[in-house]
A and B are shown apart, each in its own frame.
Chain A
Amino acid sequence: MNPLRAVPFVAVAIVLAGVLISGPLVPGVDFTRVRETESGLDSLGSGNITVDNATLPDGAVLQQGNYGSGTYRLLVPDATVDVKSYTGRPIISYAIDIDEIGYSRNSIRILVNETDGRLSLPLEEDTLDKGQLDKDEYGAQLTLLTRAGGNETVVASRNVTVEVRS
C-alpha cells in the first residue's frame, strides 16, 4: 500500500486530537493565552524629571492626500528637548491645538530605562478631511509638557501657522 495514502488520515487525526486536547477532557493543557499584556500601567507619570533647551518647530503642514480621497495629512516636525535627569516613569507630551476647527492631538513619550540626553519627539501623523477645512492656513498652538509625580509642567509653548498644501 502506498504510504502517501495515509497522509490525509494522519492529518485529520492530528487536527481532531489537537481539538480534543484543547478541551477540558485533557486538563492542564491550554493553547490559548492572552498575549502582550501591558504591565505597570499604574506607575505611568510617576517620579520626577528635569528638562532643558526645549525647541519647537516654527510651523506645520496639512498636505492633501492622493487618489481623490479628500483627506489631508497633518505633518508636524519633531520637537527636541534635553533630559537632564529623571526617576520613575515620567511622561513627556507633545501636543498641537488648532482651535479654529476644534482640533487637538498629542503624542506621549514614556521615559523608562533611557539614557539621559537629547530627545527627539515626533507628533504622530494624523488625517483630517476636506469637510473640516475651508481656509489656506490656520493658527495653531504647539505645547511640550512633562508629567511626573502628579505635576504637569509646560516646558515650551509656541503659536505657529499650519499651511494647507495641495
Chain B
Amino acid sequence: MSVLDGNEAVQRWYGHTREFRASIKHLIFGDDRGLALFLGSLCFFMLYWRIGIFITDSNAIATTLFNVADGHLSLVTAPYGSGLGAPGTYVSDGTVYGRNYGVVFAALPLLWLLEGAAAIADVPIVLVGLWCLLVIAWAATLARLFDRPPILVGGSIVATGVFLGSLTLATPLAPLARPVIALQLLTMIATALSGVVLYRLLAAMHDRRLGLFAGTAALVATPLGFWASLPKRHAYTVLFLLVTAFALYRSRTADSGEQAVRYRALAYAAVGLLAWVHAAEALLVFIVLVLVDVPTAESNDRRTVGLVAGAFLLSLVPFFLTNVLISWNPIEPPRLLPSYGSPSGSGLAGGSGPSGGFFSNNPAGRIIARGLSIFFALGSNLFEGAVVLTTDATRVVQTFVRSGFIPEVAADESGLAISLTVVESAPLLAGVVGLPIVVARHVRSNGLGRVRKHLGTPAGAVDAFALGTALLFTLLYMPRLPLHAQVTVRYLHPVFALGIYGVARLAVTQGVVGDHWRAALWTYAGSVLIGGQLVVAFLAITGPTLSEAVQFHALLSLATATILGLWVLGAAVSDAVPRVYGAVAFALAAGAGTLFLLLSGLDYFDYAGEYMLPVVRVVTDAVVLA
C-alpha cells in the first residue's frame, strides 16, 4: 500500500466524521476562528510548559489527584513535596483531605489517557507528539481560514522537524509526574477555552475581529498565559466566569424563549461547577449574577425560575456530594476545614454563626448555622477589603501600579522582589482608564436614565456583571494584598480577563481594532520579534538577578501602559488625537505583556520543572539571562 492509497482511505474516514466534527466545533469553539485561537494558544502555552511544581500548594492538588485515581477522596499516600504537610490539605474527623476536587475529577480522564498511552508508548514522546499534532491541526485550520494551503504544508514540516529533533534529545519522566502532567494539561485547556469564550462573547456583541483581539490579547498578553501550564485554580475561575458572562449575553439575545432559558440555566450551572473548584469565589459570582440577572431578565415566571434553579442545583450536586463525604455538611467545602499543614485558605473559615439549641443539635440547624457564618465572614471580608481599598493608598498602589521591593512581601519570598502589580503584569489593562470618562460623559449628556436603560440591554447586563465581579474579587482579596507567591497578583486573575473585556468595550479600542488592525499587528510583531531580541541582548549583557529581571519587565510594562493610558484618555476626550497612534500604543503594551510571558516562562522561572519540549530545553540551557 503506497502512502497515497492510505492517504485516500484516511481522507474517506475523515469525511465520515464531518458532521460530528462540525457540531463539536460549533458548540465549543463557535467557528474556525475560535478553533484556531484554541489550537494556537495551546501550542503557545506548551512552548514554555515546564513539567513540575511551581508553587508548593500545587503539591496538595497533585497528591489529591494521585489518591482519587487510587480510589479514595482522603489523602492516604502523599508522594509530592512535603507530603501531607504541604499547604492546601485539611483535616476532617482525623482524616486528611485535599481541595479543588472539581479540578481533580476533571483531570482524572486525562490521567487515564496518559496511563493508557504509557502502556503503548513513552510518555515524554507522547507529549511531544501531541504538540506536533496540535501544530498540524492549527496550521490546517489557518490554511482553511485564509484559503492558503501552503500554511498547512509549512506547519507540517515544522512539526515533523521538531518531533524528529526531540527524539534525539528526550529525557525520561518518572510515572509520578503523570498526575502533575494531567493537571497541567487541563489547566492549559481551560485557559485556551477562556480565550475562546471571550472571543465568542465579543464576536456576538460586536464583530469577530474585536472578539479575536480580546481573546488573543487575554491569552498571550496577560498573566492568563503565565498561569496556563501552572496548575492553580485561577484558570478555572476565569473560564467559568466568562462562560457565565457569555451565557448571560446569549440568554438576552436568543432567538426563542426556549433557547433563552437554556442559556440562562447555563449561566448558573457554570457558577455551580465553579463551587466545586472554589466555593467562596463561586458564591461571589453567584451574588453578582443574581443581582444582575433577575432584575434585567425578560421574564421571571415560575417555569423559567424553576428550570434555571433546577439546573443550578443539579450543577451543585458534585460539590454537595464531595462535601458530604468529607465533612458531613453539604455546604462546608474542604477549604473551610481546619488546615493540616501550614495555615492558608480564603479567610472565610473563621466566621462565627449562631450556636446552641437548634443550631447545634439538628443536622439542618448545623447547616444553616454554617451557611450564616459563611455569609457573615464573606460580608466582613468584603467590608474590610473596601476599607483597605479606600483608605490604604500605599497598598492599592503596590497591588495595582508599582511593586518594586516591598519588605513584607519579599520577607516571605527569600528576599526576592518578584511579585508584580496588575498593570505591571498586563499593561494592556491601562486602557480601562477610559471607562470612567465614557461613563461620565454618558451621564452628563443623557442623564442617569440612559445608564439605567443601557443596563437593560444584553450588553449592559454583561457590563454590569463584569464590573460587579471585578469589584467584588478585588474587595475579597484586598485585605491580603500585596502578597508573596503571586508573581502576577493571581488572586485577581479574573480581573485580567474582565479588564480586557472592559478595554474591548471602549469605542476608541473598537475604532483602532476596526480600522488600524494592520498597523497594530505589524507593531506587535515588531515589538515581540525585534524588541524581544533587543531585550534579550540587553539582559544578556547586563546579567541581572532574578529580581532585577522581573522588575525590569515591570518598568517596561509601566512605560507602555503609560503610553496606552494617555492615548486612551486623549482619544476618549478629543477626536483630534490620531487613531493610528492608538494602534501603536495597544501593540506596544501587548508586546510588553507577551515578552514577560515568554521570558519568564523560558528563562526566569525555568526552575518550575523540566521543559516538555526537549528542543526548548536545549535552547534555554544555552541562553541564561537571570
Interface residues in chain A, defined as those with a beta carbon under 8 Å from any beta carbon in chain B: 1, 4-16, 18-20, 22-25, 30-35, 65-71, 73, 127-132
Chain B residue at minimum C-beta to C-beta distance from A23: B121
Q: What are 14 A-B pairs with beta-carbon distances under 8 A?
A: A4-B149, A5-B149, A9-B6, A9-B10, A11-B160, A13-B3, A15-B136, A31-B122, A66-B548, A68-B402, A68-B554, A71-B548, A128-B415, A130-B405
Q: Which residues of B contact A19 (CB under 8 A)?
A: 121-122, 125-126, 129
DSSP majority for the B interface?
Answer: helix
New A-B contacts (17) at CB < 8 Å, excluding given A10-B156, A68-B551 = A4-B149, A8-B152, A11-B157, A11-B159, A19-B126, A22-B125, A23-B120, A25-B121, A31-B167, A32-B125, A32-B171, A66-B552, A68-B555, A69-B417, A73-B545, A129-B417, A132-B415
Is residue B325 within 8 Å, beta carbon to beta carbon, of the partner chain? no
* B3 & A7 in contact (Cβ 8 Å cutoff): no
User: In the complex, which residues 489-548 of chain B have their Cβ closer than 8 Å to any Cβ of chain A?
Assistant: 542, 544-545, 547-548
How far does the Cβ of B49 sit from chain A's closest Cβ, in whole Å?
17
Chain A residue at minimum C-beta to C-beta distance from B554: A67
Q: Which residues of B contact A130 (CB under 8 A)?
A: 405, 407, 410, 415
Select B552's contact among A25, A67, A129, beta carbons within 8 Å. Answer: A67
How far does the Cβ of A44 sit from chain B's closest Cβ, in whole Å?
24
Known A-B contacts A16-B129, A70-B547; the reply to A9 vs B3 at CB < 8 A is yes
* A131 & B407 in contact (Cβ 8 Å cutoff): yes
Q: How far is the CA of A25 from the CA of B167 in the complex (A)?
A: 17
How far does the Cβ of B137 sit from chain A's closest Cβ, in whole Å?
9
Q: Which residues of B contact A22 (CB under 8 A)?
A: 121-122, 125-126, 167
Select B555's contact among A11, A33, A67, beta carbons within 8 Å. Answer: A67
Is residue B416 within 8 Å, beta carbon to beta carbon, of the partner chain? yes
Q: Which residues of A contact B172 (CB under 8 A)?
A: 32-34
Known A-B contacts A10-B3, A14-B160; the reply to A71 vs B417 at CB < 8 A is yes
* A67 & B415 in contact (Cβ 8 Å cutoff): no
User: In the complex, which residues 404-423 of chain B have their Cβ closer than 8 Å to any Cβ of chain A?
Assistant: 404-405, 407, 410-411, 415-417
How far does the Cβ of A8 sit from chain B's closest Cβ, in whole Å?
4
Select B417's contact among A1, A14, A70, beta carbons within 8 Å. Answer: A70
How far does the Cβ of B477 sit from chain A's closest Cβ, in whole Å?
24
Q: Which residues of A contact B152 (CB under 8 A)?
A: 7-8
Q: Mark B464-503, 1 if CB is under 8 A from A, else 0.
A: 0000000000000000000000000000000000000000
How far does the Cβ of B166 sit from chain A's closest Cβ, in whole Å?
8
Is residue B163 within 8 Å, beta carbon to beta carbon, of the partner chain? yes
Known A-B contacts A15-B159, A69-B548, A127-B547; the reply to A20 vs B4 at CB < 8 A is no
Q: Which residues of B contact A18 (CB under 8 A)?
A: 125, 129, 163-164, 167
Q: How far is the CA of A138 from the CA of B50 in the complex (A)?
A: 40
Q: Which residues of B contact A67 (CB under 8 A)?
A: 544, 548, 551-552, 554-555
Chain A residue at minimum C-beta to C-beta distance from B406: A70
Is residue B243 within 8 Å, beta carbon to beta carbon, of the partner chain? no
How far does the Cβ of B91 sit from chain A's closest Cβ, in whole Å?
34
How far does the Cβ of B70 sit from chain A's closest Cβ, in whole Å?
23
Q: How far is the CA of A73 from the CA of B555 in the complex (A)?
A: 20
* B417 & A34 in contact (Cβ 8 Å cutoff): no
* A25 & B120 in contact (Cβ 8 Å cutoff): yes
Q: Which residues of B contact A31 (CB under 8 A)?
A: 122, 124-125, 167-168, 170
How far does the Cβ of B554 sit from chain A's closest Cβ, in whole Å?
7
User: In the complex, which residues 83-124 of chain B have their Cβ closer than 8 Å to any Cβ of chain A?
Assistant: 119-122, 124
* B550 & A69 in contact (Cβ 8 Å cutoff): yes
How far does the Cβ of B620 sit from chain A's closest Cβ, in whole Å?
15
How far does the Cβ of B107 sit from chain A's closest Cβ, in whole Å?
22
Q: Which residues of B contact A131 (CB under 8 A)?
A: 407, 410-411, 415
Q: Which residues of A contact B167 (CB under 8 A)?
A: 18, 22, 31
User: In the complex, which residues 1-29 of chain B have their Cβ closer than 8 Å to any Cβ of chain A?
Assistant: 3-4, 6-7, 10
Q: How far is the CA of A130 from the CA of B545 in the complex (A)?
A: 14
* A129 & B122 in contact (Cβ 8 Å cutoff): no
Give 5 closest A-B pairs by Cβ, nearest first. Answer: A70-B405, A129-B415, A23-B121, A68-B404, A11-B156
Q: Which residues of B contact A66 (CB under 8 A)?
A: 542, 544, 548, 551-552
Q: How far is the CA of A6 from the CA of B156 in the complex (A)?
A: 10
Q: How far is the CA of A132 from the CA of B404 in the complex (A)?
A: 16
Q: Which residues of B contact A15 (CB under 8 A)?
A: 129, 132-133, 136, 159-160, 163
